[in-house]
Amino acid sequence: MGGGLQAAGRRSLVDAAIEQLRGQLADGSWQVGDRIPTEHELAERLQVGRNTVREAVRVLVHAGMLVSRQGEGTFVRSTSDPASVLRGVQRSGVRDVLEVRLALEVEAARLAARRHTPEDVVRMRDALAAEAAVMSAHPERSGRGATVEHDLEFHTALVEAAHNPALAEVYRYFGASVREAMRTTFGDHEMPEMTVQSHAALVDAVESGDPERAEAACRALLAEPTAAVEQLLAENAARE
């Protein structure tokens, strides 16, 4: 029991150190690119042991706020905590998150038109064919259920065809957040229906290599779920 209490106390010291360092980063004590004080200096400032400082810094490095360079020290990478940003996104409404996802996907379509490979197009068409097969075999599950997995694969393939790893990572988060928010808000049986035709038009536009055509096709495709969300939100508001 004593060991557990000591561990809890140790953890609380580390957590306190993390919060103090986050606070100094947020209030501008150090700017992006600055080297932060040494472990010894931080330990004196925070009134904790060097091991506690070391653990706190390690957490902030993992969070992407700091970066350690062998032989040089630890430097500020970002003054905002990505975890805090993501928590803010999770508290946003379904419309807010959807709008961000749409912005990402439209830009991805433009980039994909310029950068796609033949393999990217095959991947999108395969996902679309699988989705169409499920919708044909089970019309009652159109736009939801088994087709969700294939639709996710299609949109992920589109974004990855942009060949921008940062965009792909951000999109994965927003894509998952949108689906979760829509399920929470509307339930699986009210999820907006997707059409194969608009998806196929987007693939054709990307394959054409014309960024403007790809953007227009993507906006046309995304207008469907956006309109459905607006309608369902209005219906829900009317019931309240």
Compute the distance between CA of residue 154 and CA of residue 208 in angstroms, rounded to an integer: 18
- Predicted local confidence at residue 7, as pLDDT: 42
Compute the distance between CA of residue 25 and CA of residue 35 in angstroms, rounded to an integer: 12
- Tell me how far apart the 2 most distant CA atoms of the chain are, in Å: 68
- The residue ranking higher by pLDDT, 74 or 231, is 74
Taking Cα atoms as reference points, which of 17, 24, 87, 91 lies closest to residue 56?
17
| pLDDT beyond 90 at 108 | yes
Compute the distance between CA of residue 88 and CA of residue 98 in angstroms, rounded to an integer: 14
pLDDT single digits (tens) 112-161: 999 999 999 999 999 989 877 876 776 655 444 445 667 788 999 999 99
Q: Tell me the β-bridge partners of 73.
A: 69
Long-range pairs for 130-135: beta carbons < 8 A, 24 or more residues apart = 131/194, 131/196, 131/199, 132/196, 135/196
Taking Cα atoms as reference points, which of 111, 114, 187 lies closest to residue 145?
187
DSSP for residue 179: H
- Predicted local confidence at residue 151, as pLDDT: 79
For the chain, the straight-line distance linking the first and the last C-alpha, in angstroms and rounded, comes to: 51
Q: Which residues of 144-154 are buried (b: 16+ CB within 10 A; e: fewer)?
A: beebbebbbbb
pLDDT single digits (tens) 167-221: 998 888 777 666 666 666 555 555 555 678 899 999 999 999 999 999 999 999 9
The domains of the chain, with CATH numbers, are 2-79 (1.10.10.10), 92-239 (1.20.120.530)
Compute the distance between CA of residue 22 and CA of residue 11 in angstroms, rounded to an integer: 16
pLDDT single digits (tens) 4-21: 333 434 558 888 899 899
Long-range pairs for 6-13: beta carbons < 8 A, 24 or more residues apart = 10/52, 13/48, 13/49, 13/52
- Predicted local confidence at residue 231, as pLDDT: 79
- Predicted local confidence at residue 86, as pLDDT: 61
Average pLDDT over residues 45-62: 90
Q: Tell me the β-bridge partners of 76.
A: 66
Residue 119 CB burial class (10 angstroms; 0-12, 13-18, ≥19): exposed
